[in-house]
Structure 1
Amino acid sequence: MKLPFKYRKIDADGVGINCAIGGDDGPPVLLLHGYPQTHLIWHHVAPVLARTHTVVATDLRGYGDSDKPPAGPDHAEYSKRAMARDQILVMRALGFDRFSVVGHDRGRRVGHRLALDHPEAVERLAVLDIVPTRYTFEHADAGFGAEYYHWFFLAAGNGIPERLIGGAPEYWIRARMTARHHGGTPFDPAAMAEYIRCFSTPDAITASCEDYRAAATIDLLHDNASYGTPLTCPVLTL
């Protein structure tokens, strides 16, 4: 399954980022997906937006058909700062120095960091279906732990989540995608097949775990340092 767009893989300082680009003119908008999906999460939305915008839908590093670089001990390679820099480099390579950003879930965290680190580039920001990482960890309780156990499971060390998910990646994807907080709603079968294909390699499973390990470590350091810094662009929060 693909979007009815042009596809490119753009080098972002040695990390190849898979991009779908649609629309020939109109203001540029960057779409960033969540876990455990790819850019295809936007397959209904992107073609409609492309009627009036130039749409760029990417796979975050570690996801989809983007590269999955090895991570170091501080997980910086999967920090939202590193992911945001990928997206800036992609948009510059496409000729866009200023653009809007829409982020869902993990993509929302990347979009927020992008707007903090590169305010000159982000014209406006939409953040969908998410609460900030810093706030969430500070207010986690038993209810959160039961519903969002994967935050802690995926961040575990010693290769534990990789070994367990690697035994049944399709089961894990289907279980996560129909969890209660997703409403148990069926997803497009072709999109689901792509999510499973892209997620089912050892490198992809490790990369997605590194995303959550970064969220629990280096991302918190960055968020603490930025706490209280207002965004300078208009923000839509759903």
Structure 2
Amino acid sequence: MLGAPFRYQRVEVDGVGINAAVAGTGPPLLLLHGYPQTHLIWRHVAPVLAAHHTVVLTDLRGYGDSDKPAPDPGDVRYSKRAMARDQFGVMHELGFDRFTVIGHDRGARVAHRLALDHADAVAAVALLDIVPTRHLLNHVTRAMSLGYFHWFFLAAGDIPERLLAGNMDFWVRAMIERLLAPGTTIEPEVMADYIRCMSSPAAIAATTADYRAATTTDLADDDAGMAAGAKLRCPTLVLWGEKSFVGRNYAPLEVWSGYSENVRGTALPCGHFLPEEAPSPTAGLLLSFVDETW
């Protein structure tokens, strides 16, 4: 749990309870986490941002202490469109009609969809250490299949659910530690909370549905959008770790220029988990971007 000045509340959006922590005043920022984590990934960055802005941290549906609806056929409940609708609803319920969204990993994929589907509400978007889902799945290489093997494992029906239930402690540690830059660690109490939040049968079912959705309904939504000429219209900041898989295997700005009309960005000297590995430069770049775009 984050301490003061953050205050926790539960926000109901269409029957789904979303865990949120809020602090600060000024232009609102929505921060979204990835897999296999929670809003605590922002623990070092959020206080810096909250000194200048209203900061809203949430757990995505299926993650953390948010509700975990049972997956449906086709996993539409865990599409990025459904998860983005949750987050738009949270900001609306909190009284924010226009905001900046900042996402890492799965949260960045939700942020991408949120900025497409609710363009009038999103002033700017920052996407941390991803390339678009559509690009990733349409350019599967040997390096990608090994580096991101979990994309395919977690999407494999009920197989991962049965296997993960036996050793979630090992799985969460392995998924995080293999993507950290050498010499970087996560505080034991934070790692323990990540494991706690991923360990229930409902969380396992929800998070595997998230990955199944990526290869089906999310990809279909992205293909349809690109066929219709949909691009991000708002200012877009792309940040990535120079030691991460994204940094070593893609040209992020080049890729994102095909999906955004106004994109900029840079690499940071870290692995995948920018807010935890390089919190000061991450916060500084985010503040500069938000202040400029607002």
TM-score, with structure 2 as normaliser: 0.79
Q: Per-residue CA shift, 1:93-134, capped at 9, x if unaligned?
A: 100000000000000000000000000000000000001111
CA RMSD in angstroms comes to 0.9
For 1:11 and 1:193, locate their aligned partners in 2 and report how far apart those are by CA, in whole Å: 27
For 1:182 and 1:148, locate their aligned partners in 2 and report how far apart those are by CA, in whole Å: 14
Structure 2 residue runs without a partner (length 5+): 240-294
Report the equivalent of 2:267.
none
Structure 1 residue runs without a partner (length 5+): none
Give the C-alpha shift of residue 183 in structure 1: 2.0
Report the equivalent of 1:171.
170
Report the equivalent of 1:18.
19
Report the equivalent of 1:8.
9
Report the equivalent of 1:182.
180
Q: Partner letter of residue 229 of structure 1?
A: A
TM-score, with structure 1 as normaliser: 0.97
Give the C-alpha shift of residue 198 in structure 1: 0.6
Report the equivalent of 1:194.
193
Q: State the identity as a percent.
A: 60
Report the equivalent of 1:139.
139
Q: Partner letter of residue 43 of structure 2?
A: H
Please say if 1:76 is aligned against 2:80: no
Moved more, 49-58 or 222-231: 222-231
Give the C-alpha shift of residue 143 in structure 1: 1.1
1:78–1:210 CA contact under 8 A, matched in 2 = yes
Q: Per-residue CA shift, 1:54-74, capped at 9, x if unaligned?
A: 000000000000000011111
For 2:126 and 2:88, locate their aligned partners in 1 and report how far apart those are by CA, in whole Å: 16
For 1:81 and 1:192, locate their aligned partners in 2 and report how far apart those are by CA, in whole Å: 29
2:71–2:205 CA contact under 8 A, matched in 1 = no
Please say if 1:209 is aligned against 2:208: yes
Q: Per-residue CA shift, 1:161-216, capped at 9, x if unaligned?
A: 0111110001100010101x332521122211110111111110111100000001
Report the equivalent of 2:95.
95
For 1:212 and 1:230, locate their aligned partners in 2 and report how far apart those are by CA, in whole Å: 23
Q: Partner letter of residue 191 of structure 1?
A: V
1:84–1:111 CA contact under 8 A, matched in 2 = yes
The change in CA–CA distance for 1:148 and 1:3 in structure 2 (over 3 A counts) is: farther
Give the C-alpha shift of residue 3 in structure 1: 4.2
Q: Partner letter of residue 182 of structure 1?
A: L
Say which SS state the counterpart of residue 85 (structure 1) adopts. helix
For 1:91 and 1:85, locate their aligned partners in 2 and report how far apart those are by CA, in whole Å: 10
